[in-house]
Amino acid sequence: MKKLLLIIPIAAVLIYFFTYSNTEARVTLTHSPDQVIQGEPIQITLKGTKKRDNVSVTFGDTSVPMSMYDKKLVGFVPTSITKPVGDYTVTATVGSKTLTDTISVITREKYVAPLGIPQTLGGNTAKSQKQLVDTLALDNQSLLGLGTESSALWKKAFAYPVADPIVTDPYGYSRQTGAYSITHKGTDFRAPVGTEVLAVNDGVVKLAQYGRNYGNTIVIDHGNGVQSFYMHLSRSDVVVGDEVERGDVIGLSGQTGYAEGPHLHFTLRINDVSIDPMVFFGFFQ
């Protein structure tokens, strides 16, 4: 009887060891897109493990938080529109196993288009152009460091901020305003005044305010550094601290601030870096 009692625990240990070892052996590390254009987000995916407590992922020297989605671990890395091109290494440690992946960042093609200043902000004069650039810098600074939850607040796929997502102005091109060139670090969606604006996923409202250039603005934190920005609204229906769910109406589109016509300007930031929202949405299609 004593021998049998000793065999049972040993067998259990062996089963655990081989099961865990086989689990590690099945883990794969991948990324998307295959080649990353400056300003695009990167999705890093670990398949074959559901354990987060024994997982560590880094992009270069930066730690990448991982979240469980669709039965796999995913993490997001921003690349700024000015990030140096070249190859970067992703390293994932799962238990005793280490995996690496190489990501190539390539040059974004430059595109320039003219954009004037509405009369409400002074029109196309040299004085109003300088004022616009100066105040935009201050506005952008005020939207940094809003704080993010240390874990993901979402479990479902990210969805578009309007029911009929038609892009009128893409991310990443330069708007020539007089003597100044202003990079468009968001995506504009067609949205007549009064169009319902929807939370793209679960999260917490970090900001709801009116600004000179961005008009009525809402910022939602989705955790792990992912934040969504909704600008030029005619109305805001949330306040700081509100918990929202994907698809909730948070306000109505408009033409407030620096806007020549009604639309929704949508920005997505990862760790305070603005990235191409359409590539990000593509991860969930």
pLDDT of 13 over the 80 cut: no
Report the half-sphere exposure of 150 (CA within 13 A, side-chain side).
0
pLDDT of 21 over the 50 cut: no
State residue 58's pLDDT score.
97
State residue 185's pLDDT score.
96
CA separation, residue 25 to residues 45, 48, 59, 111, 207 (Å): 16, 8, 22, 46, 44
State residue 265's pLDDT score.
98
Q: Are strands 97-106 and 35-37 parallel, antiparallel or unpaired?
A: parallel
**pLDDT tens profile 160-184:** 999 999 999 999 999 999 999 999 9
**pLDDT tens profile 241-263:** 999 999 999 999 999 999 999 99
Average pLDDT, the chain: 91
Mean per-residue pLDDT, 48-67: 89
Q: How many CB atoms lie within 10 A of CB 134?
A: 10
Proportion of the chain above pLDDT 70, given as a percent: 90
State residue 15's pLDDT score.
41
Closest alpha carbon to 165 in 281, 74, 269 = 281
State residue 220's pLDDT score.
98
Mean per-residue pLDDT, 97-110: 96
**pLDDT tens profile 76-95:** 999 999 999 999 999 999 99
Mean per-residue pLDDT, 201-222: 97
State residue 50's pLDDT score.
73
State residue 26's pLDDT score.
86
State residue 9's pLDDT score.
55
Q: What is the CA radius of gyration of the chain?
A: 23
Closest alpha carbon to 240 in 269, 199, 208 = 208
User: How far from the centroid of its chain's Cα atoms is residue 110's Cα?
Assistant: 22
Mean per-residue pLDDT, 133-140: 92
Which distant-in-sequence residues (6+ apart) come within 8 Å of 53 by Cβ?
none
**pLDDT tens profile 180-200:** 999 999 999 999 999 999 999
